[in-house]
Amino acid sequence: MKLSICTISFRHHLYSIDQLAHFAKTQGFQGIELWGAHAKNLADEPHYGADWLRSYDLETSMLSDYLPLEAPIAEMMAETERLSSLATHWGTKKIRTFVGKKGSADTSKEERHELISRLRILCDYLESKGQDLLVETHPNTLTDNLPSTMQLLEETNHPSLRVNFDVLHIWESEINPIFALKQLHPHISHFHFKNIASRAQLDVFSPSNVYAAAGSREGMVPLFEGAVDYDEFLAAARSISEVDASLEWFGPNVKSVLVKDAQEVKRALQLVRN
């Protein structure tokens, strides 16, 4: 299992992409998950890209953004084409997005049908570029629970539609992540790993809070110190160990937490192999 850092973890820091690549390499990571905002802002400096990252023995594991599925078709496609071009430049075939702006229970049949139609359009385009669209399991989207995610995959029925399996958010939906893993296994192309001290504190990950520089970080804990049992999950995930994972940390002490979490993930995977 290749591990990546997320550049979004450093969104409120004054680190350059050079410093992040150096950190990732020296700490034994294999990749960088590049936040769409960062990729767009680096576009004016084209020497940064796949070849540059390979000089650090790193790869771009995924380009993570938020495609405007509800926008007019022309606007949606223009943004998709832009992200596709950036993904090519950075040498990744994986583009991550959310599906919709409200939960599956609050989405009407008509709205769901339109979102599925949009997904097919995007997948057709990305397939022509040799790329995949990864929908993230996330609250307040159409993939906020396992049944709706399975339904979405069936309804879209496209080989370029894949899943970014966020373990915490699956657990948040009150589904056992290992059960969900077994159901979604054929469709998973990436994992997000993060944890929380208790279910009562899950609101700390709401976008309005987690993206705010002054937002609360209470309840965010290192990967193996929270409510989700990652030793158990990683033991179950050994059958698909070829899937990459990103350590998604939004709290303080970013570097030290990421280093410790990466060491613990490697330890857990080594125990599984033994």
> Other CB atoms closer than 10 Å to residue 217's CB: what's the count?
12
The structure tokens listed for 168 are 């915490």
Residue 193 DSSP symbol: E
Q: d(Cα 174, Cα 162) in Å, to the nearest integer? A: 22
> Other CB atoms closer than 10 Å to residue 54's CB: what's the count?
12
Residue showing tokens 């969900």 = 180
Asked whether 84 and 95 are in contact (CB, 8 A), the reply is yes
Handedness of CA 244, 6, 102, 175 (dihedral sign): positive
Q: Which of 138, 158, 169, 192 is catalytic?
A: 138
Strands 31-35 and 161-166: unpaired
169 is catalytic: no
Could you give the angle at the alpha carbon of 4 between the alpha carbons of 22 and 205, nearest 5°? 115
Asked whether 220 and 257 are in contact (CB, 8 A), the reply is no
Assign 3-class secondary structure to 255-269: HHHHHHHHHHHHHHH
Strands 31-35 and 3-6: parallel
How far from the centroid of its chain's Cα atoms is residue 34's Cα?
10
- If we measure between CA atoms, which residue out of 109, 170, 104 comes closest to residue 142? 104
Q: d(Cα 186, Cα 236) in Å, to the nearest integer? A: 14
Residues tagged active-site = 138
